[in-house]
Amino acid sequence: MAGRFLNLFKPIGRVLPEIKVPERKVKFNEKIFWTALVLIVYLIMTEIPLYGITTQAGNEFNALRVIFASNRGTLMELGIGPIVTAGLILQLLAGASLIKCDMSKPEDRGLFTIASKVLSIVLTGVQGGAYILSGMYGRLSPTVMLVIFFQLIAAGIIVMLLDELIQKGWGLGSGISLFIMAGVAQQILWQTFSPSNGLFVGALQQLLANNITIIEWIVGTGIYPSLIGLVATIGVFIVTIYLNGVRVELPISYAGYKGFRSKYPIKLLYVSNLPVIFASALFANIYVLGQFLWSWQGSPAPGANLLTDIFGQYKNVNGTITPSGGLAYYVTAPQNLQHVGADPLRALIYLGILVAFCAFFSLIWLEVGGLGPSKVAQQLMDSGMQIPGYRRSLGPIETMLKRYIPVVAVLGGIIVALIAGFADFLGVFGSGTGILLSVGIIYQYYELLMRERAAEMYPAFRRILGE
């Protein structure tokens, strides 16, 4: 049975909006249709401005916005941030056994989903309120504040339902993954092509107009992405695709079929890109909290208030609020070589913090996500597998997995952190973390599409695929 904490959400579940699970088998073409429709709705929401905002949109924590599929000053102001943060909090609480939840039981899974939805709505209100009260939209009347607040709440609920529509089986994959991939693709396309000026690489248009030097074109200047950023973007895509294929293969055999041997692959990126997502979620919340405290304390100067000195000092330049000190400053990546050169200590501290948190979250996710040596060993045992040369028991399998899985998980977390950090330093299009996520998501969608297509053409495969 679910714990006392999850049971508190049972009455709320009756009034929450919900997408019903399809009562029939949804055809492949129909899944494509619903997935495309969800994507179109999301893209439309990224272009609809929030009613009541008259100030020019700034570029606060732009790199984090790519990861959370948000767009400044629109209905997608918060993006999937509250959903990801809610899922992270509940998963960590469940993994630490602070809340009782047996995910093998349908009732517990249902209550866990309801708790995630409630917490997502609460965090949407908290983050939306922090944005409004921190002065991100300038000085507003109480009426306008309420209008913007309810717009953010409504948009958050719509995003949550769009994700649920996909995950309940009407579409393909996950709505969150779809939105991240679309946001990254949109950013890369926007930074590579300019609808008003034609194609530009870095500041190519400015170079041709003799407004900048060739060095400024290569390194980048102002709002224009650099030639180095373009080359780095292509390089990071290639490196990430390669690393997704690197794996350690452990020999295993089937106890029921003597002589039949196989290999169990342990990917280098064992926990995928989840550590960098969790680290980014943590950094984004530190940023928002720091900005809220800075505004709430009356925008004090450095040294005037200990709280804002710790969490974040900010500066307002032409309506754009950017961090200038404190934790918020050091968990925000320098976005090009110019910024790295201006403050190399900040770049080193950011990279160190990112690596440390990614390694930590990699270890945490082994237990929370059921990917630890004990769980995997039990799954292999239940499938009738064993280590060649050893008697069939749980001990030898778990011992061998313990040699590899924790090391590979931490190493993978460190590698994705280094790639994301250095990619941001080089000014890649769509951010380093965004490219990491998009490559992983594209690969997952490729496997999913191939499996769905095979199941559609050969129905007998559904039993093999467990559908």
> 313-332: per-residue pLDDT in tens?
888 766 667 888 888 899 88
pLDDT beyond 50 at 93: yes
Does 330 or 7 have the greater pLDDT score?
330
User: Across residues 215-237, what is the average pLDDT?
Assistant: 76
pLDDT of residue 150: 93
Antiparallel, parallel or unpaired: β 247-254 and 261-267: antiparallel
pLDDT of residue 464: 44
User: Across residues 253-269, what is the average pLDDT?
Assistant: 72
Residues 100-148 have pLDDT tens digits of 776 667 777 778 888 888 999 999 999 888 888 877 777 788 898 899 9
Confidence tier at 206 by pLDDT (50, 70, 90): low
User: Across residues 437-460, what is the average pLDDT?
Assistant: 75
Distance between CA atoms of 177 and 447, rounded to whole angstroms? 14
Q: Are 64 and 328 in contact (CB under 8 A)?
A: no
Spell 202-235 as b/e; 16+ CB within 10 A means b: bbbbbbeeeebeeebbbbbbeebbbbbbbebbee
CB atoms within 10 A of CB 373: 18
pLDDT of residue 256: 60
How many CA atoms, within 13 angstroms, populate the side-chain half-sphere of residue 339?
22
pLDDT over 90 percentage in the chain: 14
Residues 140-190 have pLDDT tens digits of 888 988 999 999 999 999 999 999 999 888 888 888 888 888 888 877 777
Tokens of 408: 């590979």
Distance between CA atoms of 298 and 293, rounded to whole angstroms? 9
Confidence tier at 86 by pLDDT (50, 70, 90): confident
How many CA atoms, within 13 angstroms, populate the side-chain half-sphere of residue 413?
27
Distance between CA atoms of 457 and 8, rounded to whole angstroms? 45
Residues 35-76 have pLDDT tens digits of 999 999 999 998 898 888 865 545 555 666 777 888 888 899
Paired strand residues for 199: 193
Q: If we measure between CA atoms, which residue out of 175, 185, 169, 8 comes closest to residue 84?
A: 175
Q: Are 76 and 109 in contact (CB under 8 A)?
A: no
Does 275 or 197 have the greater pLDDT score?
275
Secondary structure (3-state) at 3:
coil
pLDDT of residue 197: 45
Distance between CA atoms of 135 and 203, rounded to whole angstroms? 32
In this structure, the chain runs to a length of: 467
pLDDT beyond 50 at 1: no
Tell me the whole-structure pTM to 2 decimals: 0.78
DSSP 398-457: HHHHHHHHHHHHHHHHHHHHHHHHHHHHTT-TT-HHHHHHHHHHHHHHHHHHHHHHHHHH
Q: If we measure between CA atoms, which residue out of 411, 418, 467 comes closest to residue 169?
A: 467
Domains annotated on the chain, with CATH: 4-190 (1.10.3370.10), 245-430 (1.10.3370.10)
Residues 357-406 have pLDDT tens digits of 999 888 888 876 677 888 888 877 777 777 776 667 777 788 888 888 88
Q: 378 CB contacts (<8 Å, ≥6 apart)?
A: 394
Secondary structure (3-state) at 135:
coil
pLDDT beyond 80 at 221: no
Distance between CA atoms of 81 and 230, rounded to whole angstroms? 27
